[in-house]
A = this chain, B = another copy of it.
Amino acid sequence: MTRPSCQDTLLIKKRDLKNNYFSATFRTYSRVDQCRPGQFVHIQIPSAEIYFRRAMSIAGVSSRRREIEVIFKVVGRGTRQLGNLHEKDRVNLLGPLGVPFRWPRKSETAVIVAGGVGFPPLLYLASEMVKRGHDPRRIEFFYGGRSSADLIERSRIRKLGVRFHPVTEDGSVGEKGLVTGPVEEFVRRAPNRHLRLYGCGPEGMLKATNELGVRLKVPGQISLEAPMPCGIGICLGCVVPLVGGGHARVCWDGPVFEIGEVAL
């Protein structure tokens, strides 16, 4: 089991990915070997206006260099401040937190549905699958956005050798439309149904992916977001209602949930 810890790290690389996206790499993070795709770190942002940490999915790690990467989009006060950090700034990370994605079986095809800030954990997931020997041709990576500018770091997905399906609402890259259209098409056409869905992205996309999985009986998981005061299950602030009744904490019981589990 991972034991989360708070630790100071050094921002050693910051890359502007355009369209308000940034990649930030922190060193030296002692828990890199315990990180799993789907988990997140809770980042403390040194600023007058920010009180809570901000949750960011792990986008990748380098065991050798003890580096951890997050990819974030500037959407509000906290992420703006994060985007203003300088290389060599000290940043406190609490993590790794949350329940990771479950691995697909070798025989299964992973159908990844990514969008917006849901992309980083799925990039990490696909990278790790490939690294651990999952056949890249058994990874179908659907990546949706409004326009080509929303689909960041495409070269990194391509390099993995997975089957990459960009989809944009304006058709500026890949198929035109909402990503869940082509996903459904693929699922319906899949010759054998040894599929496993992995979804993370904006609310609409998550809902559609969840609904699709339930309707077509494809197992899989989705990763949720919620504002998170603590990130470690002690404040009860980040709850979502479950289909079976009751609440689950997104930070501790999730953020990864089984398809059909959460009342979205």
Contacts and interface: CB of A to CB of B under 8 A. Distances in A.
Interface residues of A, number: 6
Interface stretch (A46-54, A128-136, A172-180, A236-244): A46-54
A158 interface: no
A156 to B, nearest CB: 29
A48 B81 CA distance: 12
Interface string A157-195: 000000000000000000000000000000000000000
Interface string A66-107: 000000000000000000001000000000000000000000
Interface in A28-60: 46-48, 50-51
Contacts of A48: 46-48, 50-51
A86 B84 CA distance: 11
Contacts of A51: 48
Contacts of A46: 47-48
Interface in A105-139: none
Contacts of A50: 48
A50 B46 CA distance: 11
| Best-surrounded residue of A47, A48, A51 (most CB of chain B within 10 A) | A48
In the complex, the 8 A-B pairs of residues with the closest C-beta atoms, listed nearest first? A86-B86, A48-B48, A47-B48, A46-B48, A46-B47, A48-B50, A47-B47, A48-B51
8 contacts: A46-B47, A46-B48, A47-B47, A47-B48, A48-B48, A48-B50, A48-B51, A86-B86
Given A47-B47, A47-B48, 6 more contacts: A46-B47, A46-B48, A48-B48, A48-B50, A48-B51, A86-B86
